[in-house]
Structure 1
């Protein structure tokens, strides 16, 4: 996947933020956000962002107790790649965000991630 190629979906990992805080952030991005269903610590939503219907899943405590993931299951998000979303989330949620360094292309290093906190953006190896 090239550097500027749109990712087919967006997934970020958020450190130490409650489901309520993450949901508030999503609501600030969306024209509408409807809870679809929940199963334990997995929460499914239907979001309307920039006129597009986007399935969104929040998975709490996906990596230890500190990390929750948000998966936007669409290529119609406002972001070209995961890093774009992660940088916005880090600013607006005021916490550390991580995302995969590539677009999950065959041959990529699955342990290579972006770590974003404040204005710091760095590549790290993260073995979840």
Structure 2
């Protein structure tokens, strides 16, 4: 089942590198528009939000559509790591507000050593 949106966290990735990757993976991107602390653009009809340093050194990338080339966050994380050669983190699946808080700390890291589950307290 496709996720309704994609959310990944990238370590040490530049906004320009991410923009170039999105253009190659999805299609033409509009120029980034700053909205407070976030930046927004549109990649081939898909609304994109970039939040620099959302969690420490980690930048958040949100693709607000189910019409991405990736069915879920993990598939996108693998594609982003392959293209950008930086560590990527994503949730292991959709998280619901009703779930236990410890479930919110479960993340998957995709990096040089492959894929592994980690605990990441993001608050």
TM normalised by structure 1 equals 0.85
Which structure 2 residue ranges, 5 or more long, are not aligned? none
Residue 70 of structure 1: which of 45, 61, 71 is its match? 61
The DSSP-based 3-state class of the residue aligned with 1:20 is helix
Which structure 1 residue ranges, 5 or more long, are not aligned? none
Residue 14 of structure 1 and its aligned partner are, at CA, apart by 0.4
Residue 36 of structure 1 and its aligned partner are, at CA, apart by 5.4
Residue 77 of structure 1 and its aligned partner are, at CA, apart by 0.8
Counterpart residue number, 1:118: 112
Large movers: runs of 4+ above 2 Å:
105-108
Cα deviation 1:15-51 (Å, max 9, x = unaligned): 0111122212112223210025213441101111xxx
Q: How many residues align?
A: 119
**Is residue 2:19 matched to residue 1:23?**
yes
Residue 6 of structure 2: which of 10, 22, 26 is its match? 10
Residue 107 of structure 1 and its aligned partner are, at CA, apart by 2.2
Does structure 1 retain, via aligned residues, the 8 Å contact 2:25–2:69?
A: no
The DSSP-based 3-state class of the residue aligned with 1:33 is coil
Cα deviation 1:85-126 (Å, max 9, x = unaligned): 000101110010000111123426111000000351011110
The DSSP-based 3-state class of the residue aligned with 1:127 is coil
Higher strand share: 1
TM normalised by structure 2 equals 0.89
Q: Show the 5 A alignment for 1:1-128.
A: 5-35=1-31, 37-48=33-44, 53-64=45-56, 66-105=57-96, 106-107=98-99, 109-118=103-112, 120-128=114-122
Does structure 2 retain, via aligned residues, the 8 Å contact 1:41–1:61?
A: no
